Amino acid sequence: MDAIRILIADDQTITRSGLKMLLAAQEEVQVVGEARDGAEAIAMSAALEPDVILMDLRMPGINGIEATRQIHRARPHIGILVLSVFDDDTLVFPAIRAGARGYLLKNTEQDELLRAVHTVATGGAVFSPSIAEKVLSYLSAPPPSLPAQLFDELTARERGILELVAQGKTNAEIATTLNLSAKTVSNYISNVLLKLHAADRAKLMLMALEAGMGQTGKS
């Protein structure tokens, strides 16, 4: 059986080095490249055609969620396994919606990571226990009854910002995308929270996903 070809995408040099060292000791896998940000991950996925990408989410420029979205759209046969320190809903669900087949926390044990790599490489899905609990809870909950006019009160700018929230972008990333100040973006999001009666950003993001937002790379 051929070795599983892996691309590591993470902006932290020490993390990339640690993962490469860990994986280099395994005969059944081969690290074929290292990307420092989302843009490099997209370019290297095309050039190297890895079997699996270990994808960080918080990276400069194009973040891991957007990189996942673009890679999955162009090369759905590549298995993307998220490795992140974050397990909140505002990252988990956009990453899965973008096309990630797995989501592990960075404190995952070595054996579990290797099993996950094999699972994703063969088309399966795998999640850390806390992530799996979120996913199962989300899938088992009855679909919310969103009124058709729910977003009618939003301005075009507010809808645009909500679309970016659904894509998992931070306030800083939204500000850069729309050429606004971070404070202005924060004010817009506060207005949207009030208009939609959403308790917090995670709830707002889930409402947007249920309405079909966050599925394209468009702003």
**Same-domain status, 107 and 169:** no
Residue 48 has pLDDT above 90, yes or no: yes
**Same-domain status, 168 and 201:** yes
**Same-domain status, 187 and 130:** no
Mean pLDDT of the chain: 88
**Same-domain status, 127 and 162:** no
User: What total number of domains does the chain contain?
Assistant: 2
**Same-domain status, 29 and 86:** yes
Q: For residues 61 and 89, what is the distance between their CA atoms, to the nearest angstrom?
A: 22
Structure tokens at 108: 């995952």
Instruction: Note the pLDDT of residue 153.
Output: 84
The identity of residue 195, as a single letter, is: K
> Are 23 and 110 in contact, with CB atoms under 8 Å apart?
no
Q: For residues 65 and 100, what is the distance between their CA atoms, to the nearest angstrom?
A: 9
31: DSSP letter: E
Q: How confident is the model at residue 10 (pLDDT cuts 50, 70, 90)?
A: very high
Residue 29 has pLDDT above 70, yes or no: yes
Query: Which pTM was predicted?
Result: 0.73
Domain that holds residue 174: 156-210
Residue 26 has pLDDT above 50, yes or no: yes
Per-residue pLDDT of 178-198, as tens digits, reads 999 989 999 999 989 888 888
Instruction: Note the pLDDT of residue 67.
Output: 95
Q: For residues 41 and 29, what is the distance between their CA atoms, to the nearest angstrom?
A: 19
Cross-strand pairs, 8: 34, 54
How many CB atoms neighbour CB 215 within 10 A?
A: 14
